[in-house]
């Protein structure tokens, strides 16, 4: 099986879906011939499919999502790229008041097959307007599905599933995983939403995380193994729908849980996951649930401060050792 970067696996998934269904098209800022996207995911697609199906847009997130929503409810399958996740805030009405509610408000008489791709996370010193992790905002909005792929194999299978879904899907990626490689099949495959991936099995503690933090959790688990602590690492792959069963079964086995994401701590997805486990597996917990998040501040521009802001392997190890 060939190794591919996260970027190339994602592009491959997009390309396969564009070949499969001529209604699929991509739109966003600088995604076409001249630039190929801020992170080069769409590079070369305009040359293959033409400017009608890989459409450069004005610098207006409001217009991008509004036009994509209109296209979706009238029979097209748009994949709208928002260059940075922070900038979805400029189109929150279209996302949360329109796209998320339309199927419900119209009694199921319309579908909204809209995928909104965007990028979260720090690590590139892009400051407070281009480095946040805001997935909890959208998890709080009924009607939106949320994919958070962390690995190359997952991103290809999930983007294909997202494009074929009749509901709006928020498809979030992390800036620092595009160059990471993993074995990815050349043949077509899909990954169902709501099915987590267990990267490492363990008996002493469960570590649940998203995006880059999954990679750091695996590194932490490797280090903990040298210290005689067996950690199970779970990547949810989608937040909505959420694979509760894999999480709860793991906690029942290990009796301990550490949650790690790059979000600021208050109101993060980790709070919701902690509440779910408390409600459904309290009797199996042998220690308090630990959360590892960024502090409740804007993301710093300063490189040294940003490194302090973003959770790292050592903080995960410290949280585990506090309860094991």
Which residues belong to the active site?
130
List the beta bridge partners of residue 233: 200, 207
What the block records as the tokens of 63 is 């217009």
Place of tokens 């399958």: 77
Strand duo 238-240 + 231-235: pairing: unpaired
- The whole-angstrom separation of Cα 227 and Cα 215 is 19
Cβ(238)–Cβ(158) below 8 Å: yes
Strand duo 145-147 + 238-240: pairing: antiparallel
Place of tokens 């949650």: 259
Looking at the chain, list the stretches that DSSP marks H as alpha helix, in order from N- to C-terminal side: 6-20, 45-49, 61-73, 92, 102-105, 135-139, 152-164, 212-226, 244-254, 269-281, 303-309, 313-323
31 by Cβ neighbours in 10 Å (0-12 / 13-18 / 19+) ranks as: buried
SS3 284: helix
């Amino acid at each position: 099986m060939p190794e591919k970067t996260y970027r190339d696996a994602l592009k491959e998934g997009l390309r396969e879906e564009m070949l499969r269904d001529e209604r699929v098209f991509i739109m966003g800022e600088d995604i076409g011939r001249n630039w190929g996207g801020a992170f080069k995911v769409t590079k070369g697609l305009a040359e293959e499919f033409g400017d009608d199906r890989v459409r450069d847009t004005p610098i207006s997130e409001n217009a991008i999502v509004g036009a994509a929503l209109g296209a979706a409810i009238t029979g097209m399958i748009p994949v709208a790229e928002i260059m940075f996740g922070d900038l979805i805030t400029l189109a929150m009405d279209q996302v949360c008041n329109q796209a998320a509610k339309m199927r419900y408000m119209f009694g199921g008489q319309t579908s909204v097959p809209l995928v909104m791709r965007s990028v979260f996370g720090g690590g590139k010193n892009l400051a407070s307007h281009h480095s946040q992790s805001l997935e909890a905002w959208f998890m709080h909005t009924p009607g939106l599905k949320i994919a958070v792929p962390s690995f190359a194999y997952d991103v290809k299978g999930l983007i294909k599933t997202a494009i074929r879904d009749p509901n709006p899907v928020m498809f979030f990626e992390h800036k620092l995983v595009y160059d990471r490689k993993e074995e990815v099949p050349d043949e077509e495959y899909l990954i169902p939403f709501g099915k987590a991936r267990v990267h490492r099995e363990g008996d002493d503690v469960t570590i649940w995380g998203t995006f880059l933090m999954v990679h750091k959790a695996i590194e932490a688990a490797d280090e903990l193994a040298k210290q005689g602590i067996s950690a199970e690492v779970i990547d949810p792959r989608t937040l909505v729908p959420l694979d509760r069963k894999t999480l709860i079964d793991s906690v029942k086995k290990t009796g301990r849980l550490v949650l790690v994401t790059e979000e600021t701590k208050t109101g993060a997805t980790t709070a919701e996951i902690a509440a779910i486990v408390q409600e459904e597996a309290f009797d199996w917990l042998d220690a308090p649930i630990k959360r590892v998040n960024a502090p409740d501040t804007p993301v710093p521009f300063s490189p040294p401060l940003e490194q302090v802001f973003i959770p790292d392997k050592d903080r995960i190890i410290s949280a585990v050792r506090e309860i094991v």
